[in-house]
Amino acid sequence: MKGANKLKKLAKFASDKFKYSEVSLSHEGYVRRSADKIEIEAAYGSRKYSSDIENNLKARALESRKKDAYFEKLLDKNKYSFKKPYLVVNPYKIAPLSALVLFNTKEACSVKYVISGIKGSDDYEAVIDKVSCKHRVPIVGLFENVENVVSIALIDKSGKEIDKKLIRIQTPKVSKKIAGKIEITTNKKESCKDFFFVSGGYSGGAYAFDKHGNIRWSLKEKPMHYGVYLFEDGRFIFPELHMRRPVYGNAHSVVSHEMDMMGRVSRTYYHPKGFHHWACEEKPGGNLLTVSSSLSDTYMENVILELDRDTGESLHETSLNDLFDSTYVTRNDWVHLNAMDYVPNENTVIACMRNIHSVAKINLNTNEIIWIMTNPEFFKGTEQEEKCLTPEGHIDWYFQQHGAKIIHEDIDGNPNNLHLMIFDNHTINRRPVPWFDGEDKYSYACVYTIDEEKRTFKQEKRFQVPICATRCNNEFYYEDGRLFVMCARLVDGKETGWLSKIIEFDFETGELLNEITLQKDFFTAHCIKFNPTLMAEPLVAESPMFLGELYSPVEKKGKNLDVKDDEVIPMSEVVAGEITFRMMGDVLQLKALDHDIEKIYLYNNKRTYIQDFTDSTQPLEIFKVQSYYISMPLCKVAKGEYKLVLQYKGEHIDTGHSIKVEG
């Protein structure tokens, strides 16, 4: 009640004393049209694509760049002042709890803003460090479904506050669809972290909430089920949920975006195979390490990829099938890579391999296993036997673990040791072993110390949490003495109606201090700080928007459909309603069940382009029911008008659609 009264007083004060200008993006259209032309030429050159396909999806990177150019031109025109600023809510149309304030000042200064706390939450203060006369103020951390009161202050070079004003920002309700209910179920001591960021899973989306359980940020669209891949500076990789590539097994996202918390896309990555489960930076702003699947064989989720951050090019690929003998290569998903951590000065990774109950250190220069941490009995008699570390003292063996992560602080007084934590799901449905302890009521957050010189490891800590069959991760904060255990998918969640938990422990004593229970599941969770200074920087106009390449069609001379004209069946007679067509910039996309579309033909009398997806089959029924968009890039298709035919379940189908390439 206190918070509500405070909000009413502040809102009235803001209404009576301070006015702001809210300008829609339809204003100053000539500026935006000019930006459109510049950015489209930067993205696609002089090429144009037209079609009778009515469904057109805007390319996220291009739309972000156009809007960003528009905002920058508004600042260049010096039209908006601190007294009458420009305000737009959800400026990039995907992060509904964000806002952007633009204005110019005569004196160079920095900006601070404070979002007034409500619903039990404290005030949130953010500083944009940049000293300038042109100000972009990205506001994140807003409360949902309320008129937020935000105080904005100007700070001179000496650190003195020289002016201040209040604005009100109305936000929509987002929690029902994206997050559901959040409850603080245990609160023994105040949490050491203010905000939690969760993403992925099958019921939730990507969102952040504060330690009081209030939603403070979200995306209105869901990423791939593995969630987004968060980096240290607050940017993340957003893999598209429905843009995939047929492979042996689980089809993965081939279109991903580098995005900030405003929902602004700086670049889009295309990849011919796609990646899944995990992506991390080799260093801040450096190349990306991701997990992918084979296409040269029938195995899935078994490949480590290095991607050039600035080009999207695949620089290096390591298949775990080449590092292990065939003892455990008994199934399509025999290894199941689900997490990695990178060691920069060694060019090595710590790889978490769920389906062989193991964590391994791998040299990416030589494609060799350095060591394996598991029960040595597992690899006894195999070529990997000598790679196993020797356990010291009592070890509670872990099973089908997730989220292997290095602890960089010295927790045992020996700076030469490596400290590692994992989430032990403690289930064996994928790979039964005789030394399973039979305990299936709990999962565990585990911490280990590895002496790499002696090739030994020992168990340091083990924290008991509710049983989770899949996913989950841990985060350790040395300076606070706290361990956060992210229980992403509770086994009893369907019965209780609460699918996940975040549990905060005292690292030294093991005492459970705080517990947050969530209605929806997720894949990973992190403690975060928003980074408004990063979001205040304009996008670099000359930087490329689209990096890498999608799986591309092959060109053949003349009309080449592999069949005669009378063998091509009208689509209306065969597959009406089973296929969805759309265009996304210079990409043709078709949605159908996994592997049902076998080939795509674009043809005229001069040439034919064939996109062939028969290079893989689907051995697993669980993935055959997936429906998603496959992509045919048009960037290398010659100028001309083409008819569109499909090979669909063995039949050749005339879609009735055509595509025209100009320029």
Nearby residues of 81 by Cβ (< 8 Å), 6 or more positions away? 103, 104, 105
Contact indicator for 514, 463 with CB cutoff of 8 Å = no
Q: What is the pLDDT of residue 177?
A: 85
Q: Does CATH number 3.90.180.10 belong to domain 175-535?
A: no
Q: What is the pLDDT of residue 3?
A: 46
Q: Which residues of the chain have pLDDT under 70?
A: 1-45, 576
Residue in 35, 86, 88 with CA at minimum distance from that of residue 64: 35
For domain 553-662, give its CATH number from 1.10.3470, 2.40.160, 3.30.300, 2.60.40.
Answer: 2.60.40
Instruction: Please write the tens of the pLDDT for every residue from 89-144.
Output: 999 999 999 999 999 999 999 999 999 999 999 999 999 999 999 999 999 999 99
Task: Break the chain into its structural domains and give their ranges.
Answer: 2-170, 175-535, 553-662
| pLDDT given at position 574 | 77
Q: What is the dihedral of CA 33, 95, 122, 1, to 10 degrees?
A: 100
Cut 0.95: pTM above it: no
Q: Which two tokens stand for residue 37?
A: 């032309």
Instruction: Give residue 1's pLDDT.
Output: 44
CA distances in angstroms from 573 to 569, 586, 643, listed in the order given: 7, 29, 18
Amino acid at 280: C
pLDDT per residue over 475-528, tens digit each?
999 999 999 999 999 999 999 999 999 999 999 999 999 999 999 999 999 999
Q: Can you give the pLDDT at residue 42?
A: 58
Contact predicate 271/550, CB 8 Å? yes
Longest dimension (CA), the chain: 80
Domains 2-170 and 175-535 share a fold: no
Residue 487 CB contacts under 8 Å (≥ 6 apart), including other chains: 443, 465, 466, 468, 472, 500, 501, 502, 503
The CATH architecture that domain 2-170 belongs to is Sandwich (2.60)
Other CB atoms within 10 Å distance of the CB of residue 221:
16
Give the Cα separation of 186 and 235 in Å (integer): 31
